[in-house]
Amino acid sequence: MGSLPSPAFPDAAAKHSLDESSHIDESALTTLFKSQQSHLNFFFEHIDHSQTLAFTRALLNATGTVFFTGVGKSGFVAHKISQTLVSLGIRSAFLSPVDALHGDIGILTERDVLVLLSKSGATEELLHLVPCARAKGALLIALTSVEGNALAAACDMAVHLPLQRELCPFNLAPVTSTAIQMVFGDTVAIALMEARNLTKEEYAANHPAGKIGKSLIFKVKDVMRKQDDLPICRESDLIMDQLVELTSKGCGCLLVIDDRYRLIGTFTDGDLRRTLRASGEAIFKLTVGKMCNRNPRIIGPEAMAVQAMKKMEAPPSPVQFLPVINDENILIGIVTLHGLVSAGL
């Protein structure tokens, strides 16, 4: 069986020649960024806010789903804007114009809004989609950047996104037009967020796996160790008899309790080292209760996990754990810095 031919890479001399001819300096790069800034400023200075307001209200008052569609780069932007709305708790989805013409348009109803993104407003796939979507009774809204285009004329509503020119030297690559589409869509999304009075807690509920969601959702009781995982001992126990308990649970401490499971104090591996240096062989006769910290930092199970982390890092010196105590001072768990970090906080 023959082997596949190797890819044709330029030889070293050709590569060296390419490196010498390919160059961009800081001045040229700075000029490009300033030009893009100027093009974006043109958009902000010329956007019709009355059109934008009508568009935003149409989305806010939609009783069904807000669908976005587009082809090519505009399609990617349409998908992103839709996902932003979903993350804010707004029913939205991306509808592929090609797939829509082959069955997916069945998802559209008269309660829905269909937003069509196109720089030119002459995208054939979208123009073919319009009469079919209108037959389903959906509200059609065009977002375009060329005046007097066919798509804007065919839809129920149109928003003109002013475009001075593309940053591309040939005025072809859609790098500025897609930027203003994204800025427009995301700004409207935040306007909808404010109009719907979305709370931080509601936003977090839509992002349970992310750091934002975890910091607003997770409570201490969700991330603490419980029961058999707790490194507990009695105050009358000898320190040397509790070394296995101190080191085997991975918490770096002992939680000293009484017969009713009420917390008396904590004894850390740091306390062990200090006691050993100060007492020498006398440590064999010392009890945990005699050397433990009887005023440790504690936290309740209903506190937010992010508050536990802040409490651990608070002055005068950071700690690696917090005993979790209920209202009756009963030990019910322990939350560790390692556990919080592992949970993504």
The answer to whether 193 and 88 have CB atoms below 8 angstroms apart is yes
Encoded amino acid at 95, one letter? L
Q: Does the structure show a pLDDT above 50 at 34?
A: yes
Give the angle 250-253-258 at the CA atoms, nearest 5°. 125
Percent of the chain exceeding pLDDT 70 equals: 91
Summarised one tens digit per residue, pLDDT across range 249-268 is 889 899 999 999 999 999 99
Q: Does the structure show a pLDDT above 80 at 11?
A: no
**336 beta partners:** 321
Higher pLDDT, 6 or 144: 144
The answer to whether 288 and 256 have CB atoms below 8 angstroms apart is yes
Residues in Cβ contact with 78 at an 8 Å cutoff, skipping those fewer than 6 apart: 68, 69, 70, 94, 115, 117
Summarised one tens digit per residue, pLDDT across range 265-303 is 999 989 999 998 988 888 888 999 899 999 999 999 999
Summarised one tens digit per residue, pLDDT across range 75-104 is 999 999 999 999 999 999 999 999 999 999
> What local confidence, expressed as pLDDT, does residue 7 receive?
47
Write the DSSP assignment of 107-160 as a string of letters: G--TT-EEEEE-SSS--HHHHHHHHHHHHTT-EEEEEESSTT-HHHHHSSEEEE
Question: pTM here?
Answer: 0.69
Q: Does the structure show a pLDDT above 80 at 334?
A: yes
> What local confidence, expressed as pLDDT, does residue 199 receive?
87
Summarised one tens digit per residue, pLDDT across range 316-326 is 889 999 999 99
**67 beta partners:** 93, 114
The strand ranges marked E within the chain are 66-70, 92-94, 113-117, 139-144, 157-160, 232-234, 253-257, 263-268, 321-325, 331-336
> What local confidence, expressed as pLDDT, does residue 97 receive?
96
Report d(CA 43, CA 150) in Å as an integer: 21
Burial of 323 (0-12, 13-18, 19+ CB in 10 A): buried
Summarised one tens digit per residue, pLDDT across range 60-73 is 999 999 999 999 99
> What local confidence, expressed as pLDDT, does residue 250 receive?
85
CB-based burial, 181-196: b 16+ in 10 Å, e otherwise: bbbbbeebbebbbeee
Dihedral sign of CA atoms 190, 193, 197, 199 in order: negative
- Band of residue 1 on the pLDDT scale cut at 50, 70, 90: very low
- Right CATH for 220-343 from 3.10.580.10, 3.30.70.2860, 3.40.50.970, 3.90.1170.50: 3.10.580.10
Q: How far is CA 36 from CA 20, 75, 179, 215, 334, in A?
A: 27, 22, 10, 36, 53
Q: How far is CA 203 from CA 69, 199, 210, 264, in A?
A: 25, 6, 11, 40
> What local confidence, expressed as pLDDT, does residue 260 receive?
92
Question: Fold identical between 34-198 and 220-343?
Answer: no
Over residues 226-249, mean pLDDT: 90
User: For strand 92-94 and strand 66-70, is the pairing parallel, antiparallel, or unpaired?
Assistant: parallel
The superfamily (CATH) of domain 34-198 is Glucose-6-phosphate isomerase like protein; domain 1 (3.40.50.10490)
Average pLDDT, rounded, for the chain:
90
Which of 99, 103, 115 minimizes the C-alpha distance to 64? 115
> What local confidence, expressed as pLDDT, does residue 9 receive?
44
Higher pLDDT, 315 or 209: 315
Over residues 213-224, mean pLDDT: 82
For the chain, what are the domain ranges? 34-198, 220-343
> What local confidence, expressed as pLDDT, does residue 215 receive?
72
Give the angle 284-287-291 at the CA atoms, nearest 5°. 105
At 4, list the tokens.
Answer: 């596949």
> What local confidence, expressed as pLDDT, does residue 78 receive?
98
> What local confidence, expressed as pLDDT, does residue 341 receive?
85
> What local confidence, expressed as pLDDT, does residue 21 receive?
62
Write the DSSP assignment of 96-114 as a string of letters: -HHHHTTTGGGG--TT-EE
At 312, list the tokens.
Answer: 């651990």
